[in-house]
Structure 1
């Protein structure tokens, strides 16, 4: 029952908004996009009901304004269809919709003089502008609306009294000021929360010493990359990099020197690999590198580059350079259904083979063993 309900909700969202995907950190943009979709549809529904009322004689509206309402209805529906599933069009269509709405409100102001409350549409417009177009647009539209009402009142078929106009202008100014301050605080709060969440997420997924992905985040990322590689029928490889005799470095020079060595090695590995590769610290002196779209020959070449770069690193502790070497295991696969744990075990075995063969070398483990 719950699954069916969730499927129905998903289907309804796709009808309203189309198939859209917002990345993490775009929550406010997603809200704006959905809000504009709902606003356009609400305009379509409300205008349709008013036109039905005119058709059955429930209310009387100037024929010219009926034409204006019909145009507004058609444009609102067209803009919704143009926006649906296309968030990249949001800003342009939001401005177009605001212009369409203002034209409709002005039409109602001049052609529906029997309705004293028709001016309320200008008030309902202000919050939407601040939400959809931001503070500058909100302030500009608020001041423009106030100026337009003040100057245009004398030309209305039934002008508002001086007292009524003064009340309208003060209320518009208050409403604009309220949303200007509230919008600024809300966006500031959202930005701080997003940055705080990003920092917390980074702390949860990265090693505090080297700033590489920690083991959990690294393996999760690799499983996603493997899924993508298998879907595209691409090879992928894994390097298991282990520093030789690292315990001796800690015992001889101290843990602070060991941390310095790990940071230096990290910088070296990151400098050698490609931007598309994933690097993680999966143990004390153990690193793993996932190489998408890389066959065995390419993986061995990159592993040799890393081994050579680390050997020539010679980080200085005190006044003394420390020679560091690595043993690197290489495993490659294009097997359907294989997960990261399986290929990592083979890379791990290849690394131990490198250790057994004398360290400071690269050893490979193929699918055939």
Structure 2
């Protein structure tokens, strides 16, 4: 199967969300490197066929520039993190190449235009501050070296050249500033759209779709490392009674407070989502049962300790929590959530406001109870 031309040029480098400008810089620099090598190759062919005579010192310079450009392409291809160092190296090569043409090819009246073409690339690849500095150094350098050339430019030609460089620098200074600002705004809007699509608007937690999608990936990653993962299924007790007696506004406030409490208790690597009206699920990647049960108990105690008042009247909150642990390669997120769901219903059946764990006891079918941190964890055999 023949590779796509763009893949030959740029490699198969993936760019994540928010890396749009880096992707542009990476591709732009590769195109510039190859275009620069091709341009000097054309001049070398012209010299070899005597169509475009060039003094030998600059022929050596062009040959070295061509090889160096292709080597830099090889360094950059597949390595977007190398954009800035490669861009700096290429800037230095270009300045030396243009200076060589200025000194060694006096018969070419247009050779100083190469300094003009350098300005856009510097602004786009290295930023406005570097672009302004390079522009200033170029203008000062050309003004200083011109009277020392074997065939200097006339004052009018030099003035036109320098003003043209400054004008182009101002243009790209404004253009690059507006382009980056536009990309940042687009990225921010995209993030807002993603948040609207992935987040529950009431609690700010992941909605069921986004939660389960992320959990599948986290489970797979933990399984590849040979690590267990645990799900905590949190269901608020008697939540319908709150809505019926205190109103839906009170119920919404309870849900927001519960979501904040859960968020404060978990790690940044854990996944938490609102998957139903008063149902919350937490995936703890790379977490064993022994590590998850104390956290589940802390969550239960923290929820029970919430002090929620509506119109001066307290609203008590408790939760039943089901726990299920996936050994590497044993569960999908759907089956793990189902087991945690069953354990949660067992917690409700045993009086609510408790933590229950579902555990298979091969060959016995017995229920084993063990006490830890003030609650009874019930090890249950799945039904059926």
Name the TM tier (shorter chain).
Answer: over 0.9
The answer to which of 123-132 and 308-317 deviates more is 308-317
TM-score by length of 2: 0.89
Aligned residues of 1:333 and 1:367 also touching (Cα < 8 A): no
1:2-21 alignment, distance < 5 Å: 8-9=3-4, 12-21=5-14
Aligned-pair CA distance for 1:367: 5.3
Shift of 1:13: 4.6
Change (3 A) 1:56 1:238: same
Match of 1:129 in 2: 122
Match of 1:246 among 239, 264, 272: 239
| Kept after mapping to 1: 8 A contact 2:222/2:328 | no
2:337 is the counterpart of 1:344: yes
1:338 and 1:153 map into 2 onto residues whose CA distance is 75
Once the 2 structures are TM-superposed, how far is the Cα of residue 165 of structure 1 from its aligned partner? Answer: 1.7
Aligned to 1:268: 261
Alpha-carbon distance, 1:276 to partner: 1.0
1:273-288 aligned at under 5 Å gives the runs 273-288=266-281
1:64 and 2:74 matched? no
Aligned-pair CA distance for 1:337? 7.0
Kept in 2, the 8 Å contact 1:269–1:306? The answer is yes
SS in 2 for 1:117: coil
Cα deviation for residue 324 of structure 1 reads: 0.8
2: distance between equivalents of 1:167 and 1:147? 14
Q: Provide Cα deviations, 1:187-245, integer angstroms capped at 9, x if missing partner.
A: 11111111111111111111111111111110110111122122222211111100000
Q: Is the 8 A contact 1:332 1:367 kept in 2?
A: no
1:201 matched residue in structure 2: 194
Equivalent residue for 1:154? 147
The separation in 2 between residues aligned to 1:34 and 1:100, in whole angstroms, is 19
Correspondence 1:31 to 2:24: yes
1:118 is displaced (CA, Å) by 1.1
With structure 1 as the length reference, what TM-score do the two structures score? 0.92
Separation (CA, whole Å) in 2 of partners of 1:367 and 1:199:
43
Q: CA RMSD in A?
A: 1.9
* Pair 1:237-2:234 in alignment: no
Unaligned runs of 5+ in 1: none
May I ask how many residue pairs the two structures share in their alignment? 362
1:286-336 residue CA offsets vs partner (Å, 9 max, x unmatched): 100001112222222221111111111222223233221101111111253
By percentage of residues, which structure has more helix? 1
- Tell me, yes or no, if structure 1 residue 225 matches structure 2 residue 224: no
The answer to whether the 8 Å contact 1:239/1:330 transfers is yes
Deviation, 1:123, is 1.6
Aligned to 2:161, which of 143, 165, 168? 168
CA–CA separation in structure 2 for the residues paired with 1:230 and 1:335: 5
Q: Does the 8 Å CA contact 2:227/2:328 hold for their aligned counterparts?
A: no
1:252 positional shift: 2.1
1:162 shift after superposition: 1.9
Matches within 5 A, 1:308-323: 308-323=301-316
Which whole-Å CA distance do the structure 1 matches of 2:262 and 2:138 have between them?
60
Quote the residue 2:294 is aligned against.
301
For 2:335 and 2:37, the matched residues in 1 are separated by 56
List structure 1 segments (4+ residues) > 6 angstroms apart after TM superposition: none
Shift of 1:154: 1.3
Gaps of 5+ in 2: 362-381
2:44 match: 51
| Equivalent residue in structure 2 for 1:100, among 77, 93, 97 | 93
Secondary structure, aligned partner of 1:8 = coil
What is the DSSP-based 3-state SS (H/G/I as helix, E as strand, rest coil) of the residue aligned with 1:265?
Answer: helix
Contact 1:33/1:87 (8 A) holds in 2: yes
